[in-house]
């Protein structure tokens, strides 16, 4: 605030002195930010309550952007004319869930497969399903994707390529006319990759 001092002499002369006194608070350093992240993510930490800042990372700003790969403790010290103060901030780094759909594979046309994912709490396939396992019967080469999210909000994505082997295709007519006119007189199996045929 502002303070006044008045002096009156014996002969009636007076003098007034004005003094402005500023009170500075001692630092009270606090770090705010997200304390849990997934590996590979960034987080912003903000320090307040002081003047000049020095982090244990070497940064001197009040705000830093960090991307730790393991659990890490961050420290910042703030100073002003009245002293210094420090604060600690512990950050937990969560690993993403483990997810594997297996190796890419090749199947014959008409094959039905079950694709199974695990390691998370929720699942989302590019086919629209949101269950851990789905059943597919691709008619052409198809890539299936799934993303899983665990209880920490961390995600993982995997894919599998299902190729169709056309050599396994075949066709058997359902009717023939053995009347000697040269049209559909015989029944036979057509296709490729056929090793043996047995008609019952």
Q: What is the pLDDT of residues 117-131, one digit of tens each?
A: 988 899 999 999 999
For residue 123, what pLDDT is reported? 96
What is residue 137's predicted lDDT score, i.e. its pLDDT? 93
pLDDT at 191: 67
User: Over the stretch 142-175, which tens digit does the pLDDT of each residue have?
Assistant: 999 999 999 999 999 999 999 988 765 677 777 8
pLDDT at 18: 76
Return the pLDDT at 8: 65
For the question of whether the overall pTM of this predicted structure is more than 0.75, the answer is no
User: Given this model, what pLDDT does residue 81 score?
Assistant: 85
All residue ranges of the chain with pLDDT < 70 are 1-15, 167-169, 191-195
Residue 109 confidence (pLDDT): 80
Q: Provide the pairing of β-strand 122-125 with 142-149.
A: antiparallel
**pLDDT confidence of residue 167:** 66
């Amino acid at each position: 605030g502002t303070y006044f001092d008045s002096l009156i002499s014996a002969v009636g002369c007076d003098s007034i002195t004005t003094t402005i006194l500023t009170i500075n608070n001692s630092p009270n350093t606090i770090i705010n930010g997200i304390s849990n992240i997934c590996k590979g993510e960034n987080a912003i930490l903000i320090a307040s309550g002081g003047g000049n800042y020095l982090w244990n990372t070497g940064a001197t700003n009040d705000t830093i952007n960090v991307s730790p790969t393991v659990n890490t403790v961050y420290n910042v010290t703030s100073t002003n004319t009245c002293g210094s103060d420090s604060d600690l901030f512990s950050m937990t780094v969560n690993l993403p869930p483990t997810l594997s759909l297996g190796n890419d594979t090749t199947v014959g046309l008409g094959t039905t497969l079950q694709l199974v994912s695990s390691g998370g709490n929720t699942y989302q396939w590019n086919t629209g399903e949101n269950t851990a396992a789905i059943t597919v019967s691709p008619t052409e080469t198809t890539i299936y994707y799934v993303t899983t999210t665990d209880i920490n909000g961390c995600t993982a994505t995997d894919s599998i390529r299902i190729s169709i082997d056309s050599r396994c295709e075949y066709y058997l007519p359902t009717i023939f006319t053995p009347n000697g006119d040269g049209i559909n007189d015989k029944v036979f199996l057509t296709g490729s990759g056929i090793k043996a045929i047995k008609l019952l």
